[in-house]
Amino acid sequence: MTKYFSEQKNFFGNTNPKALIEKYGSPLYVYNETILRKSCVDVAHLINYEKFNADYSIKANSNLHLLKIAHEEGLHADAMSPGEIYVLLNAGFKPEEILYVCNNVSEDEMKYAVEKGVCTSIDSISQLKQFGRVNPGGKVAVRFNPGVGAGHHEKVVTAGKKTKFGVNLDLVKEIKDIANEYKLKIVGINQHIGSLFMEADPYIQGVKSILSVAEQFEELEFVDFGGGLGIPYHKQENQSRLDIKELGKKLTEIVHEWMSRYGRNIRVRIEPGRYVVAESSILLGTVHAIKKNYGIKYIGTDLGFNVLARPVMYDSHHDIEVYRSGEIVDGEREPVTVVGNICESGDIIARERLLPLIKEKDILGVMDAGAYGYSMSSNYNNRLRPAEVLIRQDGSDMLIRRRDTFEDIVRNFEV
């Protein structure tokens, strides 16, 4: 077995990191179509049940070209904002293939979804009343908070007693009363307990609890189990994968058993974001400076937290590969701290990481960068957001989003 992720997957197809940087510039998000399609297939067929579909949560990555690929593989989608609905409609998703899972939105933002024919899931009593005023007599879904959550970091635990999300389970009666008042039909129940679980159990527990909530509603058209399926970010330490087959098998049993109890076969949805896109991308960057400050060796790159925010935002780990002249660098290692070019001392991608001996002009590959990578990038420090390139199934490369230009960062001043 080869050691490196990019080699194992023939990630760069007919080209290599050096050629890509020369052609498209640095830094650069590179995506692999074969890997993306494989993850789409994993989730699209997770549960063996006729009325199952996976809604890709596009906040993880909303590149239009990648969305089209996900759609081709049969995924529907979750949107968190009118902008995401807009992008999805542009990518060819039908309104009925989109669920708008919103949080603290304005009346206008709700109206937008209603006008586009997109189903909305609201997550508080006050937002349900607002929906009733915007669309009396309409259909709506409700997001519940089962009181327990899970996740890899406090900031991504999205249910439980200390988060802003969802309606408390003891408010079912109040939800029904408000629905009656505005003649709303509650057609869906959803939840999302958190992100990046690597074992099936917490998810299964969450599913059982949302199904017991669903039983209290008679007219449901769907129940939605949420996302959060994890991927192994520590591949260089042989971290094992989430057993997706086993998860699928367990969920399939639970779903069939529950439907016979409910008396009707309603639609079942899940909302994976990260799982779909994370492993399909390697972020490339260039080493511009190397120095030692008081005993710590710093590798200075163009990979600031404006390009990839996860390490700074969540203390996230991303494996790193080193490339020189298109080849992977291996051999003797030393501990280094990899930093970006943003004027903040917190601008750190990897702290005290054991990496092969690095030289200026080497290219670094940051693994598993496809989810919450580009989508969380910014123009902080008036830096230009990078280009995105797709390695197609035939091994050729294709630009799927151009790099920002200086004109882009002054565009909105033209008023």
Ligand X SMILES: *Cc1c(COP(=O)(O)O)cnc(C)c1O
Active-site residue list? 343
Amino acid at 382: N
Q: Which residue is nearest to ligand X (CB)?
A: 273
CA distance 388 to 36: 14
- In the chain, the largest separation of any two C-alpha atoms, in whole Å, equals 70
- Taking CB under 6 A as the criterion, the residue among 42, 78, 362, 397 binding ligand X is 78
**206 binding ligand X? (CB under 6 A):** no
Of 177-185, 215-223, 270-278, 347-355, which segment contacts ligand X by CB under 6 A? Answer: 270-278
Write the interaction track for ligand X spanning residues 333-372; mark x where CB under 6 A is met and - where it is not.
--------------------------------------x-
Distances (CA, A) of 274 to 46, 58, 144, 213, 258: 15, 9, 21, 26, 27
Choice between 336 and 366, CB closer to ligand X: 366
What is the rounded (10 degree) CA torsion for 378, 380, 383, 386?
-20
**192 binding ligand X? (CB under 6 A):** yes
Q: What is the DSSP string of 261-290?
A: HHTS--EEEE--SHHHHGGGEEEEEEEEEE
- Taking CB under 6 A as the criterion, the residue among 53, 57, 145, 209 binding ligand X is 57
CA distance 302 to 28: 10
- Taking CB under 6 A as the criterion, the residue among 27, 132, 146, 228 binding ligand X is 228
- Classified as helix, coil or strand, 376 is helix
- Taking CB under 6 A as the criterion, the residue among 274, 310, 317, 385 binding ligand X is 274
Choice between 103 and 130, CB closer to ligand X: 103
Q: Is there a contact between 298 and 337 (Cβ–Cβ < 8 Å)?
A: yes
**271 binding ligand X? (CB under 6 A):** yes
**76 binding ligand X? (CB under 6 A):** no
Choice between 59 and 385, CB closer to ligand X: 59
**71 binding ligand X? (CB under 6 A):** no
Of 131-139, 169-177, 251-259, 272-280, which segment contacts ligand X by CB under 6 A? Answer: 272-280
Distances (CA, A) of 13 to 16, 235, 275, 398: 8, 20, 22, 12
